[in-house]
Amino acid sequence: MASTEDKPATKENTSSWKDSFYNPRTGEVMGRTASSWALILLFYLVFYCFLAGMFALTMWVLLISLDDYVPKYQDRVPHPGLVIRPNSLDMSFNKSDPLKYVQYVKHLESFLQRYNDSQQDNNEDCPRGEYFLQDDTEDMNKKACLFKRGFLSLCSGLSDTNFGYSEGKPCVLLKMNRIIGLKPRGDPYINCTVKKEGPIQMQYFPSEGRIDKMYFPYYGKKAHENYVQPLVAVKLLLTKDDYNKELPVECRVEGTDLRNNDERDKFLGRVTFRIKVVE
């Protein structure tokens, strides 16, 4: 019994720190000999290969179980968000200094490239006021309804290439997020308000800010390759009194069952941005 109570060899203790990295007497590196390392690494190689294989297999099964056209679940995106172009919630520019607003103009111009007539001429001219349903067609490639830049009239950038920025009456484009299969009920339109004592005149394009139902439903990136979202342009007809002030503008999708008053998601069916035009 007494033999179990060996004294710790003090000599070993002093060199054990170095030995734990490399022990020249046994040839051990980090407590293992080369062959021991080889064996354990081989074991882990096999082990992880097996695991990786299993992971790959499950991923493969997962991916083949997915539909190419429609996501399996859409419960995280039941309602579309509303976004503006130019993509800035805090716009500020000097109407007489092109350098300040050129970025917005450029942004709008590039954004509207897809709405050029050259692109849109291939698309269908759909009947207005109705959903453009294509569920019954065998063809997986769905047709898209055309939305021409011209629909935006003064804000199309065709007549006024500065989108009104130079004259202090800037255009802002609004678009609803794409959601597959979304069919808003009622007649959706965009309504913007400025939180300010005196109301500000606004012009909507297309008229009354309507979003036509024919652009719904969306069939997904793969099936609906040429789909473009309907846009609504708002031209803020600012007057001298409104310059040099930060104006908070809120736009909402109205006239439908789409949510526009979610407490947590401030971009669900609505968008708030500030605009300040300096003279």
Query: In degrees rounded to 5, what are phi and psi of residue 5?
Result: -90, 60
Q: Which of 40, 41, 45, 133 is in the footprint of another protein by CB under 8 A?
A: 40
- In the complex, least distance from residue 84 CB atom to another protein, rounded to whole angstroms: 9
Place of tokens 């992971």: 55
| Residue 265 found at the interface with another protein (CB under 8 A) | yes
| Residue 268 found at the interface with another protein (CB under 8 A) | yes
Instruction: Kindly provide the b/e burial profile for residues 248-278, where b requires at least 16 CB atoms within 10 angstroms of the residue's own CB.
Output: ebebbbbbbebebeeeeeeebbbbbbebebe
- Whether omega for the bond prior to residue 80 falls within 30 degrees of 0, making it cis, is no
Q: Which of 15, 27, 46, 47 is in the footprint of another protein by CB under 8 A?
A: 47
- In the complex, least distance from residue 223 CB atom to another protein, rounded to whole angstroms: 9
- In the complex, least distance from residue 137 CB atom to another protein, rounded to whole angstroms: 19
| Residue 183 found at the interface with another protein (CB under 8 A) | no
Q: How far apart are CA 67 and CA 85, in angstroms?
A: 32
Residue 276 carries which DSSP code? E
Please write down the HEC assignment for all residues of 53-89. Answer: HHHHHHHHHHHHCCCCCCCCCCCCCCCCEEEEECCCC
- In the complex, least distance from residue 235 CB atom to another protein, rounded to whole angstroms: 22
Q: Which of 27, 71, 186, 248 is in the footprint of another protein by CB under 8 A?
A: 71
Binding positions for another protein, rule: CB under 8 A: 1-2, 4-8, 10, 39-40, 43-44, 47-48, 51, 54-55, 58-59, 62-63, 66, 69-77, 80-81, 83, 87, 89, 175, 177-180, 218, 220-222, 224, 227, 262, 264-268, 271
